[in-house]
A and B are shown apart, each in its own frame.
Chain A
Amino acid sequence: MSNQLVIRNALPADLDAIISLDRTTPDADKPDYWRGIFEHYVVKGRADRIFLVAEKRGTVIGFIVGEVRAWEFGSPPCGWVFALAVSPDAREHGTGKRMWDEICRRLKKTGVTTVRTMANLDQKLTLSFLRAMGLRTGRYIELEKQLD
């Protein structure tokens, strides 16, 4: 068991750890969502679907999930990172950055040159982290409307 931080592909056995980690974020509890994501990104893994975990002393302390999406909204293939979390007591030790760098490295290997993500305006912590990773406002604007 390594004391070093290891960034590795998620395994089916990591599902419960991911569900627990997700409970530490401001988002709603959603175990069924994670079961579905695991089915697609871990069990039937593909090179362009990436689910990584950060592990220290045998414990999963973080995860990041992304994939290549092509021609959504007319955009040429690009990387999307759509979930990211580090356990609250393990934050600010560089784990988020290590996972971010690794997923970007893997995305780049598939041939894409851009990575995108989205975060709620209220999630200042996530936004500060993403800014620190060098992300800027992109060329696509998210618009929305309440359906009456």
Chain B
Amino acid sequence: MKLNKASLLGLIAVLELADDPEQQLSTTDIAEKYDISTHHLAKVMRNLVHKGVVQAMRGVGGGYRFAGNPNRTTLLDIIQLFETMESELDLPHWSKAADPIISELQSITNEIDDVTKAILETITLSAALKNMHLRSEATKNNGASS
């Protein structure tokens, strides 16, 4: 699985915002924190607003706020706003002779895609955030004890 850049930026922005649903952050705030391109992120944020995942707040101190339910929104929900998650066999055209090989490879990539989707579809933002926090805690404690 290779996530495209937009999905990755989308996941970063959504996880950042969902970690504290009260906070409002601008594109620049997020881009600076994660050292990512403001230009790319701005496009991603517009898509997230359009799909109702984040809300653009008006007025002083504007910015974006997470608008969904972190217990119900899954990683796949976010990724699928930007890509289909179907493996592609990158062969623009092939002769009839390749059909049996392509069919077999397709059935294998379908098997892989099904498992990949099932994993991403059952990890909610809350579950991912919880794992992230546990991992940072563990790293901190290991650092402290070594």
Residues of B within 8 A of A124 (CB): 121-122
Cβ proximity bits B111-144 to A, threshold 8 Å, 1 near / 0 not: 0001100110111101100110000000000000
Interface SS of B by simple majority = helix
A-B contact count (CB 8 A): 24
Q: Which residues of B contact A (CB under 8 A)?
A: 74, 114-115, 118-119, 121-124, 126-127, 130-131
Q: Is the CB of B118 within 8 A of A128?
A: no
Q: Is the CB of A132 within 8 A of B118?
A: no
**B118, B124, B130: the one within 8 Å of A121 (CB):** B118
Q: Min CB distance, B135 to chain A, in Å?
A: 12
Q: Is the CB of A132 within 8 A of B124?
A: yes
Q: Is the CB of A121 within 8 A of B114?
A: yes
User: Is A3 positioned at the interface, with any CB of B under 8 Å from its CB?
Assistant: no
Residues of B within 8 A of A132 (CB): 124, 126-127, 130
**Interchain residue pairs with CB less than 8 A apart (8):** A121-B118, A124-B121, A124-B122, A127-B118, A128-B122, A128-B123, A128-B124, A131-B127
Residues of A within 8 A of B114 (CB): 121
